[in-house]
Amino acid sequence: SAVISQKPSRDICQRGTSLTIQCQVDSQVTMMFWYRQQPGQSLTLIATANQGSEATYESGFVIDKFPISRPNLTFSTLTVSNMSPEDSSIYLCSAGNTTSGLRIFGPGTRLTVL
Amino acid sequence: AQRVTQPEKLLSVFKGAPVELKCNYSYSGSPELFWYVQYSRQRLQLLLRHISRESIKGFTADLNKGETSFHLKKPFAQEEDSAMYYCAQLEYGNKLVFGAGTILRVKS
């Protein structure tokens, strides 16, 4: 099955800066997703990354804060903009097809904002 | 919005004891439900899905529409089963929504 890699695996950033996380899948996938996993909490879906069009954001998440790109069927980026300590979390990339809930997940990016 | 509830944050059992991780979902007619697992230092991965009705690593999960439950069971826990377990439901728009997760600790 497909494998997802994410870069960076972790980062420590200053308040007010931005970080772009890259997600690469080793084969073409129909759908890509971004999740956030805050300490001690479950996975929260941020958005669905749509190839060739704007991402679909979940309630509570906006494009200005979390711009997403998906230029092709194997790659996506998530930017965390104007970071604050509340953005400290693990960000997970996920991929799957359109007809089932079968998903693969990346290893995550652990972000700490000081 | 459909939601998934896992009432237990932590479940601790002895090796060889039966395990039941609880999951309740909100009604959606014909739900699609999954169990995902995350072992220590590994990425999240699929354990099983209800439509396949299979047993993976000795685990099974039966969909009970009357109780809107999808509990995960194993008759004899092993130490290597220690992990975080997430119940998940596929929502409209192909969005996979997760419960809060249950940590399973199997003690020797």
> pLDDT digits over A15-62, tens only?
999 999 999 999 999 899 999 998 777 899 999 998 888 999 999 999
The C-alpha atoms of residue A84 and residue A114 are separated, in whole angstroms, by: 7
Q: Return the sign of the alpha-carbon dihedral for residues A58, A95, B98, A6.
A: negative
Please give the pLDDT value at position B2. Answer: 59
State how many domains chain B has. Answer: 1
Partner A contacted by B41 (CB < 8 A): no
Partner A contacted by B86 (CB < 8 A): yes
Chain A residues whose CB is inside 8 A of the B86 CB are 42-43
Beta strand segments in chain A, E:
4-7, 10-13, 19-25, 31-37, 43-49, 56-57, 68-72, 75-80, 89-96, 103-105, 109-113
Topology of domain A18-98 in CATH is Immunoglobulin-like (2.60.40)
* CATH code where residue B74 lies: 2.60.40.10
Considering only CA atoms, which of A44, A97, A21 is closest in space to residue B86?
A: A44
Question: pLDDT, tens digit, for every residue of A55-103?
Answer: 999 999 999 999 999 999 999 999 999 999 999 999 999 999 867 788 9
Residue-range definition of the domain harbouring residue B70: 4-107
Chain B residues whose CB is inside 8 A of the A108 CB are 43
The C-alpha atoms of residue B49 and residue B35 are separated, in whole angstroms, by: 6
Chain A residues whose CB is inside 8 A of the B96 CB are 33, 45, 94, 96, 101, 103
Residues 5-64 of A with CB under 8 A from B: 31, 33, 41-43, 45, 48, 56, 58
Helix (H, G, I), strand (E, B) or coil at A35: strand
